[in-house]
Amino acid sequence: MILNDFFKALGQMGDPKFLRVFFLGVGSTIAILFVFYLIFLGLLQWIFPDSMTIPWIGEVRWIDDAISWASIPLMLILSVFLMVPVASAVTGFFLESVAQAVEDKHYPSLPPAIQFGFMETLQDSAAFLGVIVVANLFALILYIFLAPFALFIFWGLNGYLLGREYFQMVAMRRVGRDAAISLRKKYMLRIWIAGILMTAPLTIPLISLIVPILGVATFTHLYHRIQATTSGRTNPDPAR
């Protein structure tokens, strides 16, 4: 059933609302990663001096330049791990457009969704971004010490985080925050499995950029199936 949700989402990728979110998400993600790079470079330059004196050699002044150049490949490596959480969190900010596009096509008889204010949406997206970035940075340590299991750790961690947040954000549009949290806790295993399904392709270059959108769409279908089950209906669209 989760695969059916995924393939329904995949079949809608040409939707103009999906494409709009894709381009906005990619642009915002690149901008955020660039800011991370500037902060990262600033920390390196703050830690290391512009020059230092080495015995038998004397004063060396090219250290600052070396650090600047070395930071580029290092940040590229880090971006492989950061692209996923950052893109996912940014896409969460544009979640409404994707979820609404899914509902317009597949569940047209639903009443209007609950609208959340800009600041509340920004706060939720920023909190998600902070949690997922910090969790993945800490996971880098596990990747080093548990290298053979790094891929599985990546899938498990991000599958849990993405499933938890995406499902909750989608459900909040329909039943509010408290009821969404209750549903998420009740069906956590199913949501985690769906999250891992979303996370696995994130390790594939380029494909990873569309996965957050597919994730929102997939969890929209999953939410409506769960709601149909809990209410005793066989069809998620109440008018069908």
- Identity of the amino acid at 162: L
How many other CB atoms are there within 10 angstroms of residue 92's CB atom? 26
132 to each of 56, 76, 87, 158, 163, how far by Cα in Å? Answer: 47, 18, 11, 8, 12
CB of 237 closer than 8 Å to CB of 223: no
Q: Domain-by-domain residue ranges, the chain?
A: 2-28+81-230
pTM of the model: 0.74
**Which DSSP letter does residue 1 get?**
-
Which has the closest alpha carbon to 68: 113, 108, 38? 38
The pLDDT value given to residue 10: 84
Q: Which pLDDT belongs to residue 223?
A: 93
Which tens digits make up the pLDDT trace of 189-213? 999 999 998 887 776 666 666 777 8
Torsion of CA 109, 112, 114, 116, to 10 degrees: 130
Per-residue confidence (pLDDT) for residue 74, from 0 to 100? 60
- Give the N- to C-terminal CA distance of the chain in Å, as an integer: 19
- Treating both helix axes as pointing N-terminal to C-terminal, what angle do 63-93 and 118-145 enclose, rounded to 10 degrees? 130
One-letter amino acid at 4 equals: N
pLDDT at 232: 64
**Cβ neighbours of residue 206 under 8 Å, at least 6 residues apart?**
none
Write out residues in the chain with pLDDT < 50, as ranges: 51-55, 57-60, 62-63
Tokens 């998400």 — which residue? 25
pLDDT of residue 205: 60
What is the three-class DSSP state of 58?
strand
Task: Specify the pLDDT at position 89.
Answer: 63
In this prediction, residue 220 carries a pLDDT of: 93
